[in-house]
Structure 1
């Protein structure tokens, strides 16, 4: 498991960032027969297939799809390796599946629902496209002066249109730490937020604050949420989490105090769980672990396997 990318990571693309400023190359790529589009609609991904075998749909460029393209990169795998991939956002359409270029090809689904059911590379495509579409849609105006901001560099920059300002804005990723707290032996902490589905328990998490290291964020969040002090903070892996714009940075940490004091503003409950119980439990409405496409699930499973 340690060598496998987290779900939504490992996108099989050469991002080809040097191409983003080359308008001639971008125009040529847009006209190439091999170029494919990854449509997004109201943060939903365009997919096909049965519920247990969902696939992303890449469609040919078509003038009937009127949207500002976002260059994602060049495919690095499969028969279409080398083909350019663009994302397009269609938020104003009421029934995008009925547009002639898309009709009969698929449907728009919430990536959080279908991502775990998709091949890893395709889920990563959709996450990348969703994140870029979300950022562009929410940064249509300059955050400095309020003037309209125009898309530039193939959707990876937005530039204030007021010449007196001309501020360049770049896609935002919010770093968040997510940490499995253990006692150095066979117990770990799991908590529940009020908005979790029934029975779901997960590890602790929180956003990194300005002027704070990742290790400091882990220690602060654990202390704030469950009143425990920790040491031996160790990085495990990371996961893009475009819901809407986070990067989840996974850690383990060893507790140096053990009496949990739950912050009720953050968590509904939190307690210690034995490794044997987590290994042998049967998921139910009363108790189940974090969703399997999350880094939280991976952290828990790795810790169980190490015991």
Structure 2
């Protein structure tokens, strides 16, 4: 399987919406989409996503026809994309409604679903549903954090159907784009074992592969080698790309790699990792998945890296 196929299988990736990037500046077209009674709205409230809880959680979207008051009161409205034909398909818009103090009392919201942290339901959602919620959450988070210009401090305004913000100070006029922070995450192995660690603030028993943010002036492969050396004191080589995963919690893209360890002695950096150890495939297959030992959460690329490594010898 190539990296493209692997990435499309990761949670929060693989969405089918046409993001319509070339038409976002067509204001008349955007207005027609937003006026269409069949347009679907994806509300976000204080970084929580709108879901319908039955036997399993599902995305709860709102028909634009019934949500005029929510649109009028929204802090931000942004086009997510189109499903189907560009001129006759269904449009999806993210709706930032954090100004509502108690959304559960709104008649439409009360009847249609409830708000939840996507990370609490993500592994139970269908992949396309998870991607839609993650996309909306990430875009709304960026708007909330960039209402003022980072260059001159003046207010910014939304443009490009919610995909850029411009400084309102004509002397500055800086354009700001949605921010995504690149982070490398890597399965470090010595052939028959994989290196897993844990941070002190993680849920009891959880172990995961190592990860860290890319620094300025650094290649992805260099970031892999640096993070592993800093966290556990191990040199690596043969750094190979695996796949990527959007991780808008709040604004990251996880870039997955495999790497081969040149040594096995672990020297922990106490500021980075609470503990780390080498594990065989048999040990991981026998994981009790409880407070004594558990693998990474199922919606993470960390879990995918571990499971793919286990499957190599099957």
Indicate the TM-score class for this superposition, using the shorter chain for normalisation. over 0.9
Q: Equivalent residue for 2:177?
A: 170
Q: Quickly say closer, same or farther: Cα 1:139–1:60, change in 2 above 3 A.
A: same
Equivalent pair of 1:64/1:100 in contact (CA under 8 Å) = no
2: distance between equivalents of 1:156 and 1:301? 35
Q: Which of 128, 132, 140 is the aligned partner of 1:125?
A: 132
1:249 pairs with 2:255: yes
Partner of 1:235: 241
User: Quick one: which of 259, 262, 270 aligns to 2:265?
Assistant: 259
In the alignment, what sits opposite 2:78? 70
Distance 1:186 1:146 in 2: 54
Post-superposition CA distance 1:220-268 (Å, at most 9, x none): 0000000000001111111000000000001010000110101110110
- The CA distance in 2 between the partners of 1:133 and 1:64, in whole Å, is 19
Q: How high is the TM-score relative to the length of structure 1?
A: 0.96
Q: What is the Cα deviation at residue 176 of structure 1?
A: 0.2
Q: CA deviation at 1:92?
A: 1.3
The answer to whether the 8 A contact 2:187-2:209 is kept is yes
Q: Which segments of 5 or more consecutive residues in structure 1 lack a partner in the other structure?
A: none
Counterpart position of 2:293: 287
Q: Counterpart of 2:31 in 1: which secondary structure?
A: helix
Distance 2:155 2:288 in 1: 53
- Check conservation: 2:148, 2:167, Cα contact below 8 A: yes
| Residue 119 of structure 2: aligned partner | 112
Query: Which runs of structure 2 are paired with 1:15-26 in the superposition (5 Å)?
Result: 15-26=19-30
Q: Distance in 1 between matches of 2:69 and 2:282?
A: 57
- Describe the SS at the equivalent of 1:64: helix
- The whole-number CA distance in structure 2 between the counterparts of 1:189 and 1:76 is 44
Please give the root-mean-square deviation of Cα atoms over the aligned residues, in Å: 1.4
SS class of match (1:263): coil
Instruction: Determine whether 1:29 maps to 2:33.
Output: yes
Q: Which residue of 2 aligns with 1:60?
A: 63
Q: Which sections of structure 2, spanning at least 5 residues, go unmatched?
A: none
List structure 1 segments (4+ residues) > 4 angstroms apart after TM superposition: 1-4
By percentage of residues, which structure has more helix? 2
- 1:82-121 to 2 correspondence within 5 Å? 82-121=89-128
Instruction: After superposition, give the CA deviation of every residue in 1:189-246 in whole Å (9 maximum; x if it has no partner).
Output: 0001011000000000000001100000000000000000000111111100000000
Within 1, Cα distance between the matches of 2:287 and 2:104? 42
> Residue 76 of structure 1: CA displacement?
4.0
1:73-98 CA-to-partner distances (Å, cap 9, x unmatched) read 00149xxx821100001111111132
